[in-house]
Structure 1
């Protein structure tokens, strides 16, 4: 009777190992030990550690892009509601693919092999989609930006990506509350950002000169 495939367990174990020890310190032997198989058995599934990393990061990347395509097709909701859904989607993927999604953020940018080139296009597509969403919000009057939509898009992505340093899943309800808090932070800036022009306009022209102590 054939043995059941350990592939899902192996991919999950690799994600944990890469997250905890880093790609350079992780070994196929230590990954195999997490699921109770020898290093030689790992080679029944992959030919290298890099190939295993690819398997780890592909799942969350493709899940996010699939959700992004769905949001693009939603033209009946307000821009703010679509942005809220995007933030919820991002947090949900961080939870559903924990820690693989964070392994993606930590490691995928360092590889330049053809197998990883697809992720450069995915990242650009993701940023472009958020930028387009924010630009639409400006056109419709929902958002007031202090700068270009490209800057605001990268600021939002940066806020979400920073979650790799502190986020752990706490269940669907708690994670949804967290997503709403992050969305509220982003939305507050998008609504109020236009006022920053007035605040910063005179900076550097009207400030009094700095006099050193005793000067």
Structure 2
């Protein structure tokens, strides 16, 4: 009987610890979500920890249990946005072996689909990441460069294969592409003329033709990467 009582007390403590951990994780998520919304509305510089605490419904002092400062919150948001876009670097075997126009359209579709799911985090990450300092900023830039390098390689493939104009600057094109895609969450409205999927295809056609690809190439890329 005594052994059973000890076991019961132990189990009770474990359940209590589990509940505390879950509650802490939920609060963490509430703070992160609140920060994303307020950063999006007011901007990083104009947002205070008090603003975030008020939104969550906790004392400002309680915030320090989860984050040391406002930059910690921004870094968390940027990291989440970058991690959420990692699948954009994964190509199906048939797409990886396809001509550059097909690969480019497929990449734009993947990126825009992920943008749509993470509109809030993506918007904040893109507009405010430069507020980070030192090692954190370098880490974020290094991660961002992986995505740019992937898209740039596709464009360079198209130039080598004769699908794209060899006179374009792939770095400029890549920067322009990401600027266009990453600012979309700021202004896109679901009630607009184009859906997010249709907009992604419009972007792809725009860039394929702008790179010197023919209408036939653009149309073929659309059907093959669908």
Q: Same fold (TM over 0.5)?
A: yes
Q: What per-residue deviation string (whole Å, max 9, x for no partner) do you get for residues 108-158 of structure 1?
A: 123222123211112222222211110101122222244222222222222
Question: CA contact under 8 A between 1:105 and 1:164: conserved in structure 2?
Answer: no
| 1:42–1:118 CA distance, 2 compared to 1 (3 A) | same
TM-score, length-normalised on structure 1? Answer: 0.78
SS in 1 for 2:47: coil
Number of aligned residue pairs: 191
Match of 2:119 in 1: 98
Q: CA deviation at 1:72?
A: 9.0
Match of 1:63 in 2: 84
Q: CA deviation at 1:165?
A: 4.0
Match of 1:87 in 2: 108
TM-score, length-normalised on structure 2? Answer: 0.74
Alignment of 1:102-181 (within 5 A): 102-168=123-189, 174-181=195-202
- Higher RCO, 1 vs 2 (CA within 8 Å, ≥6 residues apart): 2
Listed as ranges, the gaps of 5+ residues in structure 2 are 1-15, 215-226
Question: CA contact under 8 A between 1:127 and 1:154: conserved in structure 2?
Answer: yes
Aligned mates of 1:128, 1:151 — CA distance in 2: 12
| 1:168–1:145 CA distance, 2 compared to 1 (3 A) | farther
Aligned mates of 1:50, 1:169 — CA distance in 2: 31
Q: CA deviation at 1:52?
A: 0.8
RMSD: 2.5
Question: CA contact under 8 A between 1:131 and 1:150: conserved in structure 2?
Answer: yes
Aligned mate of 2:206, from 177, 185, 194 = 185
Aligned mates of 2:122, 2:45 — CA distance in 1: 18
Aligned mate of 1:26, from 42, 47, 53 = 47
SS in 1 for 2:110: helix
Match of 2:35 in 1: 14
Q: CA deviation at 1:168?
A: 4.6
Structure with greater helix share of residues: 2
Aligned mates of 2:190, 2:144 — CA distance in 1: 23
Q: Does 1:37 align with 2:58?
A: yes
Aligned mates of 2:37, 2:47 — CA distance in 1: 10
SS in 1 for 2:143: helix
